[in-house]
Chain A
Amino acid sequence: MDNQGIMAENQHKTDVVIIGAGPVGLFAVFELGLLDIKAHLVDILDRPGGQCAELYPEKPIYDIPALPVVTGQELTDRLMEQIKPFNPVFHFGQMAESLEKTAEGWRVTTDLGTVIDAKVVVIAAGGGSFVPKKPAIPGIDAYEGSAVFYAVRKMEQFRGKHLVIAGGGDSALDWTLNLQPLAASLTLVHRRDDFRAAPDSINKMRALVADGKMKLEIAAITGLSGADGALHAVALQSKEKGDYTIPADCMLAFYGLTMKLGPIANFGLNLHENLVPVDTEKFETATSGIFAIGDINHYPGKLKLILSGFHEAALMAQQAFRYVYPERKLRFQYTTSSSDLQTKLGVAQNEAA
């Protein structure tokens, strides 16, 4: 904060910072909001929903109370609607990287440099951060960051390169189309001659192949060769061609995302098999003011169900209130009868007029 009391763009102060914007993190906003507690959320994905949005947006879920069937995306959309009255602030596309104690609570810093000061931290990180899947190619580590990449940060980096793109989904196809004009040569490698991507992209890619402007290899990637982090060739294998190599100096691999615990492992929370131990009264960790709810926590009898996470969020909020408003007395109220809660939700009878 500067001396004017105005915060820099990437500096924030709030009551609670929630790490993870999956269903449980989202519902925590609701339970906290009913108690006048403001929240910011950090998530590595570029949208809310966590696993529901990334892994199974179209899959039906049958065990959400009172919703006989709901897809991962619908559940996310409904939670977003439910928490709208509380105006949560989202910090998407970034990973909570460090957690430090401050005089008033905690400071969470993300890998993009966003700093959030809060009285309470709620870890609702599910199975961890979604990060790109790394192909199981021997020796790939030696080329990561210099010749092998899992995302495109700057397109210019690939200008004039002999580029191999691996994968058969939208990311692989989109980057093939975007980078083909820049690259000296481009080869798309996929395990089968069928793609699950936007039909238009597939058609455009096939047209480029037909025009001899890029190559398509239906093959498995079996190895990389080069020296000192510089890639020279990619080894392929297919039924028709057997083992062969193609010259390349850069490779982009798009095999989807997987979950990794990431920096939370370094938050000093005495992890139990990559899970955060909590009590079952407040869902608080051994460190006061730090809570863990949803799939990431551990306690006797834990079930990794969305509904369990919702319950945990409600109990967490009760204790969070005591840290945020130590001078106030907590009043337990029902949304059905409390005009105070109804006002917060924007549904109070006398508000309509």
Chain B
Amino acid sequence: MKTLTLNVTNLDGTDHAVEALAGWQVMEILRDHGFPIKAECGGACCCATCHVYVAPDWVDRVNPMGEDEEVMLDSAMDVRENSRLSCQIVMTEALDGLHVIIAPNPE
């Protein structure tokens, strides 16, 4: 399977390019690489602790937000226009190079 790249800006502003596989949730990739997301519910769109911002030039290219996700964002912190729950974005070849910024998540 082709290895894809996920670009991540961490809370401290540092940029990282990490390997990603198609079919994986962005949340799973972030968690495997030790980025500070809790992902408490394990990817079920139930906890809002895998909150990220999608870089502006990628916003229109990721799958649109579902209603569940919109509601769940009500309990996320510092929600912005480009807020997403990373468990609801699945990596595909079309998203090779996707850039997300880690958002504040509960400690």
Q: Which residues of A contact B (CB under 8 A)?
A: 51, 55-56, 59, 127, 133-136, 167-169, 190-192, 196, 220, 255-256, 258-260, 304
CB distance from A219 to the nearest CB of B (A): 11
With A55-B47, A134-B106 as given contacts, are A196 and B41 in contact (CB-CB < 8 Å)? Answer: no
Q: A126 vs B80: C-alpha distance in the bound complex, in angstroms?
A: 31
Task: Tell me which residues across on chain B come within 8 A of A196, comparing CB atoms.
Answer: 71, 74
Q: Select one of B42, B74, B107 contacting A168, CB under 8 A.
A: B74
Q: A258 vs B79: C-alpha distance in the bound complex, in angstroms?
A: 17
Task: Tell me which residues across on chain A come within 8 A of B41, comparing CB atoms.
Answer: 51, 55-56
CB distance from A165 to the nearest CB of B (A): 13
Q: Select one of B42, B48, B104 contacting A136, CB under 8 A.
A: B104
With A55-B40, A168-B74 as given contacts, are A191 and B107 in contact (CB-CB < 8 Å)? Answer: no
Q: A220 vs B73: C-alpha distance in the bound complex, in angstroms?
A: 12
CB distance from B82 to the nearest CB of A (A): 13
B77 at interface, CB cutoff 8 A: yes
Q: Are B40 and A127 in contact (CB under 8 A)?
A: yes
Q: Select one of A51, A169, A304 contacting B74, CB under 8 A.
A: A169
CB distance from B93 to the nearest CB of A (A): 28
With A258-B40, A259-B40 as given contacts, are A133 and B78 in contact (CB-CB < 8 Å)? Answer: no
With A258-B38, A258-B106, A260-B107 as given contacts, are A135 and B77 in contact (CB-CB < 8 Å)? Answer: yes
Q: Which residues of B contact A (CB under 8 A)?
A: 38, 40-42, 44, 46-49, 70-71, 73-80, 104, 106-107
Q: Select one of B38, B48, B78, B80 contacting A256, CB under 8 A.
A: B48
Q: Are A56 and B106 in contact (CB under 8 A)?
A: no
With A134-B106, A258-B49 as given contacts, are A56 and B44 in contact (CB-CB < 8 Å)? Answer: yes
Interface of B is mostly: loop
CB distance from B59 to the nearest CB of A (A): 16
Q: Are B46 and A59 in contact (CB under 8 A)?
A: yes
**22 A-B contacts (beta carbon < 8 Å):** A55-B44, A55-B46, A55-B47, A56-B46, A59-B44, A127-B40, A133-B77, A135-B78, A136-B77, A169-B75, A190-B74, A191-B79, A192-B70, A192-B74, A220-B79, A255-B77, A256-B47, A256-B48, A256-B75, A258-B40, A259-B38, A304-B42
Q: A260 vs B38: C-alpha distance in the bound complex, in angstroms?
A: 11
Q: A56 vs B72: C-alpha distance in the bound complex, in angstroms?
A: 12
Q: Are A136 and B40 in contact (CB under 8 A)?
A: no
Task: Tell me which residues across on chain B come within 8 A of A133, comparing CB atoms.
Answer: 75, 77, 106
Task: Tell me which residues across on chain A come within 8 A of B80, comparing CB atoms.
Answer: 220
CB distance from B67 to the nearest CB of A (A): 10
Task: Tell me which residues across on chain B come within 8 A of A51, comparing CB atoms.
Answer: 40-41
Task: Tell me which residues across on chain A come within 8 A of B48, comparing CB atoms.
Answer: 256
CB distance from A298 to the nearest CB of B (A): 16
Q: A167 vs B106: C-alpha distance in the bound complex, in angstroms?
A: 15
Q: Are A134 and B74 in contact (CB under 8 A)?
A: no
Q: A295 vs B42: C-alpha distance in the bound complex, in angstroms?
A: 12
Q: A59 vs B41: C-alpha distance in the bound complex, in angstroms?
A: 11
> Which 4 A-B residue pairings sit nearest by Cβ, starting from the closest?
A136-B104, A256-B75, A136-B77, A258-B106
Extra A-B contacts (16), CB below 8 Å, given A136-B78, A169-B75, A258-B106: A55-B40, A55-B44, A55-B46, A56-B41, A59-B46, A136-B104, A167-B74, A169-B74, A191-B74, A192-B70, A196-B74, A220-B80, A256-B47, A258-B38, A258-B40, A304-B42
Task: Tell me which residues across on chain A come within 8 A of B46, comparing CB atoms.
Answer: 55-56, 59
Task: Tell me which residues across on chain B come within 8 A of A190, comparing CB atoms.
Answer: 74
Task: Tell me which residues across on chain B come within 8 A of A167, comparing CB atoms.
Answer: 74-75
Q: Select one of A56, A220, A259 contacting B78, CB under 8 A.
A: A220
Task: Tell me which residues across on chain B come within 8 A of A135, comparing CB atoms.
Answer: 77-78
CB distance from A36 to the nearest CB of B (A): 36
Q: A336 vs B44: C-alpha distance in the bound complex, in angstroms?
A: 36
Task: Tell me which residues across on chain B come within 8 A of A134, comparing CB atoms.
Answer: 106-107
